[in-house]
A = this chain, B = another copy of it.
């Protein structure tokens, strides 16, 4: 297996995630003067390229027009586009990837990837679907950060066609980047779980802000509202795509949440102090269990 510090990495799309991946590789893997590896990037965003150049994050870069030349040089490619663009890009450029290179995506919903997997799998590279679980209310290359992934989860969804060595290499890379837990699953489980931990939370935060009488209400805030709604400073086009492309799973979780909310609402409405207290006690125990680090290991 090749040394990570000797590989050429390609980042296609240089936004918050692409930028953070590039910076993280630069800082954690290609950090000494002996590192022979390189980072190349391709993006349509000229301002991001300009800034990345100034910051010495990239060794070479170009606009998307010449992306095929870039792909031919890379041992490891991260495609960091909006979800719908990803499969089209992979399918359109599948003959440009370097032979035996490892290619991954960062899509937050995997249904389309797996529905169209045959269009990608036929290339002579090893495509391993992945999802780095990090985000935030900021967007764009200028908000990207090498430390973005520290102690975060990475979900990978290996295909039957993937080489064991490539999966191992991928895991080594993301561990070096700072991810502390790698969860292996399939696309269907991913989309079901993510609809809960990520998309439902963005729906709730957005609905909560929408329901505020006015923006001045935060002068009565003590931190709870602020914590619940920080993610409502939302990238609207991206999250519209994510919500609609995972609609069935998301609607199921919204309806479960509405039922849970209804139970608590009715306990309060009927002045049921004992019932309310029991509901909250159970929630407290469950949430403390969720925070246990030793529980955070996929069985």
Interface residues, chain A, CB within 8 Å of chain B? 133-136, 152-153, 155, 181, 183, 190, 193-194, 196-198, 200-213, 215-234, 236-237, 239-240, 243-244, 247, 250-251, 253-254, 256-261, 263-265, 268-269, 271, 273, 276-284, 286-291, 295-298
Contacts and interface: CB of A to CB of B under 8 A. Distances in A.
11 contacts: A135-B222, A135-B224, A153-B220, A196-B220, A198-B221, A202-B224, A204-B261, A210-B263, A212-B286, A215-B290, A232-B287
Contacts of A218: 197, 290-291, 296
B240 A280 contact: yes
B277 A236 contact: yes
The 10 closest A-B pairs by CB, nearest first: A133-B222, A236-B280, A211-B260, A193-B220, A207-B261, A201-B224, A210-B260, A215-B289, A207-B260, A197-B225
Given A215-B295, A232-B287, A251-B269, 13 more contacts: A153-B222, A196-B225, A197-B217, A198-B222, A201-B208, A217-B290, A218-B291, A227-B230, A229-B287, A229-B290, A234-B280, A240-B273, A247-B271
Nearest to A221: B197
Contact of A228 (B228, B250, B283): B228
Given A208-B257, A215-B289, A243 B276 contact: yes
A200 B290 CA distance: 22
Most chain B CB within a 10 A radius of its CB, from A181, A221, A289, A297:
A221
Contacts of A224: 135, 197-198, 201-202, 205, 231
A241 B219 CA distance: 23
A236 B284 contact: yes
A283 B237 CA distance: 13
A223 B259 contact: no
Contact of A197 (B197, B220, B278): B220
Contact of A261 (B217, B258, B260): B258
A133 B271 contact: no
A279 B222 CA distance: 26
B196 A212 contact: yes
Contacts of A190: 220
A166 to B, nearest CB: 23
Given A222-B135, A261-B204, A264-B203, A286 B243 contact: no
